[in-house]
């Protein structure tokens, strides 16, 4: 990763904010930029011209330009023939999502449906192998939705079907008991050291996870917004 970043720095010297007026950040080979349409067009042209020289070949078909509805027609015109996909709805980005509220709900809804299915599968296993199912849930499955909670704001209501699956299907199968009441469910959310089982409620912790993520990454976020590449050693 560090060596890849060094290689990418050569390209980023060419497409730097001072030269393109595009605020940008790269995570491995995922390069993202934000700015005015004409500036983004110039930035994309520089990437196409200079990227392949260092082995970075941009794929237009997998590149998305997300614009506000009022700028959609202009974006289609400016990027005509480039192969870049222009959208006013939104697009997945590094496991999170950028776009309208409707697109966010659709994206998270699809992920929740997938996670509910996985909880149902694990619940079936819990009927005969409760300890293995509990270990698989707490050490594996439970972390499947952490990234979404930390990077997508205001999704607590969208996670309700997942919490209902955990409460109404997984826990009864695991404990061979009826559906727990609210007090019992709250007790099971506590970590084992406090007498619980660490089976957290995604619906409850989503906003806290998102706020914690924002606070922990604030320094880096501010530097990206300011396009300040001078990172102090103790901040890395």
Q: What is the pLDDT of residues 182-191, one digit of tens each?
A: 999 999 999 9
Q: Is the pLDDT of residue 100 over 80?
A: yes
- C-alpha 78/C-alpha 1 separation (Å) is 34
Q: What is the mean pLDDT of the chain?
A: 91
Question: What pLDDT is stored for residue 231 in this prediction?
Answer: 53
Better-scored residue on pLDDT, 218 or 229: 218
Sign, CA torsion 143/148/153/156: negative
> How sure is the predictor about 36, in pLDDT bands with cuts at 50, 70 and 90?
very high
Residue of 122, 198, 186, 116 lying closest to 158 (CA atoms): 116
Question: What pLDDT is stored for residue 89 in this prediction?
Answer: 93
> How sure is the predictor about 152, in pLDDT bands with cuts at 50, 70 and 90?
very high
28-33 contacts: CB < 8 A, separation 24 or more?
A: 28/1, 28/4, 29/4, 29/56, 30/94, 31/58, 32/93
Question: What pLDDT is stored for residue 233 in this prediction?
Answer: 42
> How sure is the predictor about 230, in pLDDT bands with cuts at 50, 70 and 90?
low
Give the mean model confidence (pLDDT) for residues 177-184. 94
> How sure is the predictor about 232, in pLDDT bands with cuts at 50, 70 and 90?
low
- C-alpha 40/C-alpha 226 separation (Å) is 17
- C-alpha 232/C-alpha 115 separation (Å) is 39
Question: What pLDDT is stored for residue 183 in this prediction?
Answer: 95
Question: What pLDDT is stored for residue 236 in this prediction?
Answer: 46
Give the mean model confidence (pLDDT) for residues 126-146. 94
34: left (phi over 0), alpha (psi -120 to 50) or beta: beta
- C-alpha 212/C-alpha 223 separation (Å) is 18
Give the mean model confidence (pLDDT) for residues 112-141. 95
């Amino acid at each position: 990763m560090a060596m890849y970043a060094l290689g990418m720095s050569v390209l980023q010297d060419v497409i730097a904010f001072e030269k393109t007026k595009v605020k940008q950040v790269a995570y491995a080979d995922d390069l993202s930029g934000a700015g005015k349409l004409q500036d983004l067009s110039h930035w994309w042209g520089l990437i196409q011209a200079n990227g392949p020289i260092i082995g970075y070949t941009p794929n237009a078909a997998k590149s998305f330009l997300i614009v506000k509805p009022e700028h959609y027609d202009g974006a289609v015109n400016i990027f005509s023939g480039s192969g870049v996909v222009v959208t006013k709805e939104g697009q997945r980005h590094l496991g999170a999502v950028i776009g309208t509220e409707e697109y966010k709900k659709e994206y998270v809804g699809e992920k929740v449906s997938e996670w509910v299915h996985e909880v149902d599968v694990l619940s079936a296993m819990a009927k005969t192998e409760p300890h293995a199912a509990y270990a698989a849930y707490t050490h594996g499955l439970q972390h499947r939705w952490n990234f979404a909670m930390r990077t997508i704001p205001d999704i607590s209501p969208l996670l309700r079907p997942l919490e209902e699956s955990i409460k109404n299907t997984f826990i009864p199968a695991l404990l061979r008991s009826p559906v727990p009441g609210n007090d019992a469910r709250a007790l099971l959310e506590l970590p084992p050291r406090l007498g619980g089982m660490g089976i957290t409620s995604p619906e409850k912790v989503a906003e806290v996870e998102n706020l914690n993520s924002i606070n922990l990454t604030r320094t880096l976020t501010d530097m990206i917004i300011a396009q300040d590449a001078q990172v102090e050693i103790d901040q890395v």
